[in-house]
Amino acid sequence: MILQKENKILREKAKEIKNFNSPELKSLIKKMSDAMFAETDGIGIAGPQIGESKKIFLAAEDVLHSDRFEKENSRTKNYLVFINPVLKNKSSKKTKDIEGCLSVRGLYGEIARPEKITVEYFNELGVKKSRGASGLFARVIQHEIDHLDGVLFIDKAKNIKKISNQ
């Protein structure tokens, strides 16, 4: 179950993960991927969204291939794991786009975010990684890192609109 915006866990700063070689971590990742892919529009999910105030998020691999992502029923169930992520570089050029959130159902708003970023993180095996991202992938990473800091997109968004799923 994905927590909604009223839940106070979503406003906490998540705690670092120290033990990478644990059944609990593997279980958490599985729980997060199941929750993300259960939603037709789920492309990212952070630990706090499922009630675990831990510095971890998943991003659907499809966001790397937005051409494939745009097509209905062509989603894979592949994902990338980011543990204890830290934004290292951000481009000064920003792009505005509409965002929504699995924890803020029905609301959408425009957010300007850096177009390109570099993030350092650990993968699920505890290996330190660094990667660049741009476009939708960069946006998803920044949105999920906000969750780990207790920030929801509605805190930053302009022109918030309510759209019902009918």
Q: Is 34 helix (H, G, I), strand (E, B) or coil?
A: helix
Question: Of the listed 52, 99, 124, 144, which one is catalytic?
Answer: 144
115 is catalytic: no
Q: How far apart are the first and last CA of the chain?
A: 21
Six token digits for residue 125: 């095996």
**List of residues 6+ apart from 125 with CB closer than 8 A:** 20
Q: How far is CA 145 from CA 18, 59, 119, 161, in A?
A: 18, 11, 10, 23
Which residues does the annotation mark as catalytic?
Answer: 144
